[in-house]
Amino acid sequence: MTDPILYFNDVTVSFMARRGKTKKPINAADHVTLSVRQGEIFGLVGESGSGKSTLARLAVGLNSFASGSVVFDGTILENGKRPLALRQRIQMVFQDPYSSLDPRMSVRQQFMEILKVHKSIPADQRVAHCEKIFTQVELPVSLLDARPRQMSGGQRQRVAIARALLLSPDLLVADEPVSALDVSVQAGIVQLFAHLRSQLGVSIFFIAHDLAVVRHLCDRVAVMYMGKIVEEASTDELFANPRHPYTRALLDSIPRLVPDAHEHVAAPEGEPPSLLRLPSGCRFRSRCPYATERCANEEPTLLALASSEATAPHLASCHYANNLEVYGGRRSAP
């Protein structure tokens, strides 16, 4: 087990949300603790609005935290503008490649400008460097002279990944990098992230709203619901032994992965509650088929399962996570 490269320690990110004519604070990330380890691909999964991008943006310094701490490679980070040398080490890949590419300039022009600002590559080596990165993302070097809109969606996302790699970062934060792509090109981009990790040793914080995408890519996965991490485990363990009813419901919505899950659990039903009006106790209880009175009265904490191994902890935030019988269909705990 390697040391963390990125560590969120009990972080809360708050925004003001409009409610009628007034504004009220919401916690888009609510006391989140997680770490991405050196050289690891760590997956974060959850429905729309669960707070995934909030954490991604926090990692690259685009969001501020209200409490807790953020540690990168052993250094405690403050809110506010980060020094250039630090920004260089944590790079983001967005869902929409245009978020990081200028449609009016050729890729070569854009890359050269970035290299000029950062100065880490000597001027006479910059062309060769761009060509090397293009080869790493499996694009023909001839495309360096194209503009982003002259490319296919998959090529454009590879260019956005190349842009993120240009300054040899230690951590890539990929926020739903395949969600906007045709299904036919998604697998190729997911494969590319796997290659980049093994070739370059880069650590990857990989966000998806679908568990199927992370299954063959990530070493560990966390599941997020309404600002909270509700379950975290190694990917194999999470798929083989999901303990939070929300994770089980997400898995059940991809039944080909868990053939027998249909017997017990329905896909997550209903809409998530608003962050402005969270249920008391467990915030998943309004959609949970197993919710009891205890769930209404007492908020569960994210704890290691009794069966959890010390080297690869399996954490879940459910009062009944250690009690598999609950998932046998009974609505109340014994």
Ligand X SMILES: Nc1ncnc2c1ncn2[C@@H]1O[C@H](COP(=O)(O)OP(=O)(O)OP(=O)(O)O)[C@@H](O)[C@H]1O
Closest CB to Mg ion among 53 and 247? 53
Q: Minimum distance between the CB of residue 36 and ligand X, rounded to whole angstroms?
A: 17
Q: Does 53 bind Mg ion (CB under 5 A)?
A: yes
Q: Where are the beta strands (DSSP E) in 176-322?
A: 203-208, 220-225, 228-234, 303-304, 315-316
Q: Does 97 bind ligand X (CB under 6 A)?
A: no
Return the residues of window 1-30 that contact ligand X according to CB under 6 A. 15, 17, 28
> How far, in Å, CA of 170 to CA of 276, rounded?
36
* Residue 220 interacts with which of Mg ion, ligand X, none, CB < 5 to 8 Å by class: none
Half-sphere exposure of 107 (CA within 13 A, CB side): 31
Return the residues of window 253-292 that contact ligand X according to CB under 6 A. 275
Return the residues of window 170-209 that contact ligand X according to CB under 6 A. 209
> How far, in Å, CA of 318 to CA of 299, rounded?
9
* Residue 88 interacts with which of Mg ion, ligand X, none, CB < 5 to 8 Å by class: none
Q: Which of 2, 48, 199, 311 binds ligand X (CB under 6 A)?
A: 48
> How far, in Å, CA of 148 to CA of 34, rounded?
35
> How far, in Å, CA of 210 to CA of 203, rounded?
20
Closest CB to ligand X among 51 and 97? 51
Which one of the spans 53-61, 226-234, 309-317, 325-333 is the region binding Mg ion (CB under 5 A)? 53-61
- Residue whose entry in the numeric block shows the structure tokens 């009794």: 306
- Residue whose entry in the numeric block shows the structure tokens 């880490």: 120
Q: Interface residues with ligand X (CB under 6 A)?
A: 15, 17, 28, 46, 48-54, 209, 275
